[in-house]
Structure 1
Amino acid sequence: MMEHSEDVPGVFTAAGFRRGAVGVLAIVPAAAAFGLVYGVAAAEKGMSLLEVALSCMVIFAGASQLVAMELWREPLPILAMVLSVLVINLRHLLMGATAAPWFRGVPGLPAFASLYFMTDESWGLAVAERRRGQVDAAYMLGAGVSLWVFWLAASMSGHALGDLVRGFDPSLFGWLITGFFVVLLAGFWRGAGDLLPWLVAAGVALATRQVLPGTWFVLTGALAGSLLGAWSHVRRR
């Protein structure tokens, strides 16, 4: 019986890192445009260039940075910002669990560095790479570091542009973020069996947004879809 690719221990090489850094370039324009939007909007909120740079280097999570930026005011609502960012990033628990088999046998430092630079985009590309039978876990780190560089550069450029643009409304670019994730989701499509978990995730997220404030809908939708998908996978095996 052929062993499932998820059960094969990963390796970690410089070649895999380079392949990930190059493989992510196809989606860099969308990520860079997202970064420009963030930088311009941050300038409108009164964030300094240093604050924008630090948020990109340390947090490196576009959705969380946008949520925190929406709450940015004086005095800073620290507790609300921390809770909002925590909730929206809890999905990384599910993403990390999905990537965990790839890092079996990989030393701790490279594995933890890969998780630090893990984003929705680098994770999605890594999952697709794993499904093709590739076992080089450095692919995800290469993709994440490449995105980190472009995200930082684009956000700082957007902040500089924000000094020239007044009255900018970042919500006008909501279509850009939505379209980006639709394209990313389409890359995961494996057949009709994926449809039900996706519909359940969307339905639970929409229902949660109607009854709970904040970003809980991200977690509940992801959890519902993941559990149903995992159950379906176990049944097929």
Structure 2
Amino acid sequence: MAFTTTKSAFWRGVRDSAPFLLVSGPFGLLFGVLAAEAGLNVPEAFTFSLAVFAGSAQFTALQLLQENTPLMIVLVSALAVNLRVAMYSASLTPYLGDAPLWQRACAAYLVVDQSYALSVVKFETEPDMTVPQRMAYFFGTNGLVAPGWMIATITGALVGAQIPESWGLDFVLPLAFLAMIGPMLRTPAHLVACFVAIAVSLPATLLPYNLGLIVAGLAGMMAGAQAELWLERAAARQTAKRERQS
């Protein structure tokens, strides 16, 4: 589809992102409920979502804050969980790197899974888009999701404040992470990274200040990277062997 104006590109991004409300809405609601369960009031929960705007990092930080973890460890853990966003930003730079600085700064804040996935596919399939049109489309992918996340957070915090503490909603937090991780395990390298992180995390619980989370995450990433290299080399050897036999 050819984009004739930046306005049409923006609204196309809005339309393409609409289905993601079915995912971001419930997770934002869950974060608000758990934030209230953790003792945050509605303005604090809203400010948390507004300042961070990164679902998995918010859940991680919230869990560590509940356990009275030192602030530096909370920040490092949240950043570690969100490292993928740095790769997203690097991937988008060839398409958005020539935009004005203020636009790139706003885009950096709005880089999340959904905005990246939609934008990079659109930019690859529509190479004739101008930089303003690309930026408009990118902002459009957050036109519904970002406000929806904030509204869901406020709603969840309002509801969560009325839920008795005896309900033990903090148990929902690990379930939420399982729901997020499950669909991401698509390759053997992903599975290796997951199970190595699990294996390391069990003895790593003995480390102080919840450092086990960081240690397990690093171990999982290294194991996944090594597994991917091994699989690529094995595939290359198989290809070379078939070529020699033919």
Q: Does 1:224 align with 2:217?
A: no
Q: 2:188 aligns with which of 199, 203, 211?
A: 199
Q: Give the corresponding residue for 1:121.
A: 114
Q: Secondary structure at the match of 1:84?
A: helix
Letter in 1 for 2:135: A
Letter in 2 for 1:54: T
Aligned 8 A contact 2:17 2:118 in 1: yes
Provide the rounded CA distance (Å) in 2 between the counterparts of 1:125 and 1:223: 25
Letter in 1 for 2:62: M
Distance 1:209 1:97, change over 3 A: farther
Provide the rounded CA distance (Å) in 2 between the counterparts of 1:96 and 1:176: 25
Q: Shift in Å at residue 101 of structure 1? A: 1.2
Provide the rounded CA distance (Å) in 1 between the counterparts of 2:170 and 2:66: 17
Aligned 8 A contact 1:42 1:69 in 2: yes
Q: Shift in Å at residue 92 of structure 1? A: 1.3
Provide the rounded CA distance (Å) in 1 between the counterparts of 2:75 and 2:114: 23
Q: Does 1:146 align with 2:139?
A: no
The Cα offsets for residues 148-169 of structure 1, whole Å up to 9 and x where unpaired, read as: 1100100110011112222242
Aligned 8 A contact 1:41 1:168 in 2: no
Q: Give the corresponding residue for 2:38.
A: 45
Letter in 1 for 2:149: W
Q: Secondary structure at the match of 2:78?
A: helix
Q: Shift in Å at residue 84 of structure 1? A: 0.7
Q: Secondary structure at the match of 1:71?
A: helix
Q: 2:163 aligns with which of 156, 162, 165?
A: 165
Distance 1:170 1:217, change over 3 A: same
Q: Shift in Å at residue 173 of structure 1? A: 7.1
The Cα offsets for residues 84-112 of structure 1, whole Å up to 9 and x where unpaired, read as: 11111122111111111111332222122
Q: Give the corresponding residue for 1:208.
A: 197
Larger Rg: 2
Q: Shift in Å at residue 114 of structure 1? A: 1.2
Distance 1:73 1:17, change over 3 A: same
Q: 2:82 aligns with which of 89, 102, 120?
A: 89
Distance 1:62 1:221, change over 3 A: farther
Where structure 1 has 5 or more consecutive residues not aligned to the other structure, the ranges are 1-10, 187-194
The Cα offsets for residues 193-233 of structure 1, whole Å up to 9 and x where unpaired, read as: xx7xx3213312431342252155388279839x86xx89x
Provide the rounded CA distance (Å) in 1 between the counterparts of 2:64 and 2:171: 15
Q: Give the corresponding residue for 1:20.
A: 13
Q: Shift in Å at residue 140 of structure 1? A: 2.0
Distance 1:83 1:74, change over 3 A: same
Q: Secondary structure at the match of 1:144?
A: coil
Counting matched residue pairs gives 209
Distance 1:138 1:36, change over 3 A: same
Moved more, 76-85 or 116-125: 76-85
TM-score (norm 2): 0.71
